[in-house]
Structure 1
Amino acid sequence: MSAGAAADGRRLIGARNRQKLLDAATGLFAQRGYRGTTTRDIAAAAGITERTLFRHVPSKAVLFREAVIGPVDEFVRAFSAGWNDRPRGSRESEVEVREFYDNLLVVIDQERSLLLALLAALAYEDHEGDFPDLDLTFAPMLDALAEILAVESDLRSWTLEPRIAVRLIVGMALSVTIHRDWLFAGGTLPERDLLVDQLTRFTVHGLAGVAR
């Protein structure tokens, strides 16, 4: 085997091990939270040694950040790419907003346990300063969405401040997904399609729900 082929093989094994680590960490963080999960647990679940784990990542905090942020970052990148591929203003406002909510709620629902673990970590668990900037990690993604909203606002004569409006929009989507158990306690949990519909109408038309 040539030196190049051997190097490629090592890189492939390294990439596979890193993915195993991320998959194992994602599952354990979702089940046990940040503090309830150890690097030894993660390594065992990934089928590698703890020593190998630290060859791939410097700390548990880095794995946590990747597990939580990765899916959201992927959503923002995909949304931005799709938006960039379309002519500006080519779709109705409701269509644009509905697609955004539809895709975002899928991501949040899939990552609900991890996002709950993130909220717990930020609120209660970071006593040792493991991830001092974790609360800022979403900021670049939100700012990227705000730039898109600013362009759309100019085209559609929307008057809300894009930086704030984007955070209100994402905040509503997070709330109805992450906090659904108490927001809808005592009643029937709405189907996702209905939530998307109501969020879209509220975002585009306000409390009236329809164009005036």
Structure 2
Amino acid sequence: MKKIALGIIISATLLNCSKIEETVNQTVTSAKEKAQQKTSELVQETVNEQLTKLVNAETVTFSSVFPNESNLVLENEVGKKVAFPNGTPFYVFKYKVSDKDLLLKTLVEQPTSDEAQSTKEFQKVDGASIVEKMTFFEKFLPSNTFDMSFLDDIKNDKSIEYYKVKRFPNASTVIYNPKTQMVYQFVEVKK
């Protein structure tokens, strides 16, 4: 009888030890996952802070970059100037415009510092390479610099129009949505 009772106690002890070990393993795994998640969040936050310091984004107006804007009326204008570590500025504008043709004409008529490197007409282009470049650029831009959520819209909407305007030193890429009349303009300053 003692042997049976001893066998039952040993079996119960082993079963309880197994359950305790399983609980400990689950707790350790959960703690590791939480620690990895917190570490990833902290690293991303630190990277964003450092990129923001490096990139130096500041608010700008369309008229400060394009002073000869004639009768152009822009609504809901948002503009950012991004200065990369090498000192080259890059402008990003978002606005609504009622007259796309006037916008393109205004950009083409902007003064240039080198007519030989400039064009006197805008060019309608395929948007695939533009979307690809912007997707690449988005990876390096700090999350709080500019809202790039419109990328999903332009990837899926076939009615979006893309234009290039080259007036040295400014090379503009204009993305126009005819449905909403929203414009996203990227201005690269050439040196």
Task: Give the TM-score band, short-chain normalised.
Answer: under 0.3
TM-score with structure 2 length normalisation? 0.25
TM-score with structure 1 length normalisation? 0.23
* Structure number with higher strand proportion: 2
* Bigger relative CO (Cα 8 Å, ≥ 6 apart): 1
* Structure number with higher helix proportion: 1
The structure with more radius of gyration = 2
